Structure 1
């Protein structure tokens, strides 16, 4: 039917105005945007469109998980597990456990003990190799010498897990910086791409990403301690080394929260931390038994603070001080909250995308969008006259709704995203073309004007829905299977498809219905 209730017209106009108001902050400068935020209703989002790395610049880092570090970690764990197994099984060995580049070796003189321990050795390294899979190659070199070598499958599996865990940690760390829409994704088997739009300080990003954040609480070694029981560690706040006991009293893994703050006595920036129940109990026991001794807080094998224990700390919380700046305290809190990296990362590629390049991309995207919109508007005016005006107005509302949706979803607009919007401009007009041509056919078939208009919209609607549903499925596949810029293209394409159905069908129909009611034409104007 070509009739619209007044409330439907009012709702459509209100939705259009709201979309324009939401887009408005993105079209003006930062100063005017701040003033506008004080004028707009509080329920309207005051945010502007988030631009991607290719539009506003930012930091681009490509990391590679250090395979050698993973192997060294696996070899160390294998040595410890082997030592525990030999002790539990009461196996006698000649000499100690030797370490090779990709495994360990041990000499078991007794043949019966070798035969008894051999089946259990294969269980020291488990990999996802299916039933019966083992991560070890075990060979008897003669004279009771057993060599345990890590297989390529075990190493590859460990590297894969390290990459997955690293991506999770990096997401928590980079999001802690307060940046918008960082892109952290896997590249190949052992590389990770980190892109942070709008962050020009790449050194700060490298400090956050590249630190392993292995936090330990150890007692400072007492004078005259056995050199084999202490590590000589560098100090972060002063030159020289400090003897620190090797035994780790409390692990950083027991932290549940870390927040930057200020010392109530000195006003210096500090980091306040809180343990879980297990960590709180350990911390309380250590501080109770060692009142008066310095307690070293070690981050990545560097002593950042060594305060003296003045009394038992049983509340499960504490404070880290170390002559930090405000930014350093904030960065340390982010690292501790995010957790430690499972392996060392090496920088393969580093790029800082400047705002100049971003502006070039914006200008190119604007030119493409302006040319596309201009040519479409001209074609519709020349071909369909007054109906072309209705289509162009609907097209303007269509673009406004896409940008409003991007703002409300806090989605990132990238150059491929602009391409998706340009594509939906053509799709939106294509829907109008289908409707108008159908109206022409109905009119040439002898129908009255009102009957031709109604039949044109009704019979073209199914075709429009079918074509847009097909495109929406494609956009969904691109979003869920793609990454980075591909997902940006998919988001803008999907939003454009949804708004196309609203503007090309509902709004165009409403404008033509109002035109017919007030103009009372006697013939079709196309």
Structure 2
């Protein structure tokens, strides 16, 4: 899109942009002002910010096995994700399962909608059971247009491998007959077999409405649990963190955003002004999109948004650097703007599409917080590309049209002698090896004492202590007075607290406590607060991140990495680019892991979000440099490794200012979050800052150097090195 605005059109466009920004800002302010206030919250908030419903089920089966409990918890987790990706399910004691769903206040409505977990059987027409609910992997309501153009509502069943075999045999022998589906001795559907179903997929047709199809699918899903459950108790629980958590995070976002805008204007002048306006629009669009798509927002989610604001500047920095290069080559400002956007396009698209691939895989295959993170990441990527490639361009063209055309208002890149970064690759590799080795040594030392990493309740479970006080306390009072007492007795710096609404009960979740520690903790509450010792309840609880969820997360990350590798290989037509980028990504993950190991930062649900954020950031940073290498290699015949070395050093030097400026803007946002945030968010922000530094370091000092080594030594035609 060339600059075609005249002065009048430029003024009109700026007025339109101002009106759009004003409208978005007003809409966003309404959403944020009502968040966490009253019954009807604009944005769905997680348990940590707004509380929700806690339902505890009693297992009716005698002596359930650990495998049955684990399987039931996992299936319940997948079931309640329809309410919120941030819902959690964990074991309490030996035979109870607790479900916590954020953002709702009516336990009875959830119980009615969720349904009572019971026995599900598939029977023949003469009443013989041939298949049970645990052979159903999933059931979903859907619709389609039939040949007459009418909408049909159906339930699609996905069977397990065992279920597919059994179902195929029975349907083959019962074509034309009914096969009743029985839930708790009640026939909930009586479909007729039209043909043999042998592929592990089946459809139940004849639903009158989508609601009827969804009700049947829901009953089948909840009936596919390994164990039968009955409601033991249900409560509405308060937020785990005080209102200060939201206000301090919003304050950090506002201050960080202002600093980033000021930085952009000082460094890039008129383009910086355009980027700042686009960044404000981007921020409003992110908030509005989260609200419209009803994405549950937790404290790590807020941190993720704040981080994405810093990363959203990245595309603008790439474009502005290109514009300055074109101006330095002697072209006019208008021509340089047009060429700058065109040349920056491939780097922006490749970097963001690579991260978007990861988000898509994580969203499809992940569960729990991983799925929620993927949604937020995808929204941030799409909106940042839109604002950088379209909004920033329109604003910049409008500013140019109204008379801001002087070259000094845009700047020009300075000719720099290439930094000899490739020659020092041995030093860079050694530094990384030492840092990562320190992390493994630290984990080894701590492993000898029982825990390689400082795992929180989310990963290893612990003890839940419910204390009935004689009056209601605020979250701030609990954090200031009671939590330090619990920490002193348990030695646990990651105590989680939850208030039970409608009562004076407070739930304290800590690491696993011995019987003596439980008695000491109970006595402390009796002595200091006059609590009745007999009314204090203590139960062992399992991790909220089950082994199946961890497996899902690991599987999703591995598949995402493979997909990114294939995409980079395809786009750059060279597997060495892809392998180098992935190794740099692994490097950053290990460096952040070292941070967790040596600083003993609590490894909880935010750990997964932190690692996923670093993966997205690292790959984006590396792709930009590789894009410049690809461009500089066009039309050049590489004779020996000296030529290859010069190309690599030149590309690194050309993109160095972009790498530094993007890192600064992103670091500012996270640093403000660390500086002003509550303790929980600081444990998330600190390793993120380490990851940002590592991501920039690996892109500049590791990834390109690895590519140089691979390019020189691996392939059909090895490149000679005259220096060796």
Structure number with the higher helix fraction is: 2
Structure number with the higher strand fraction is: 1
**Structure possessing the higher radius of gyration over alpha carbons:** 1
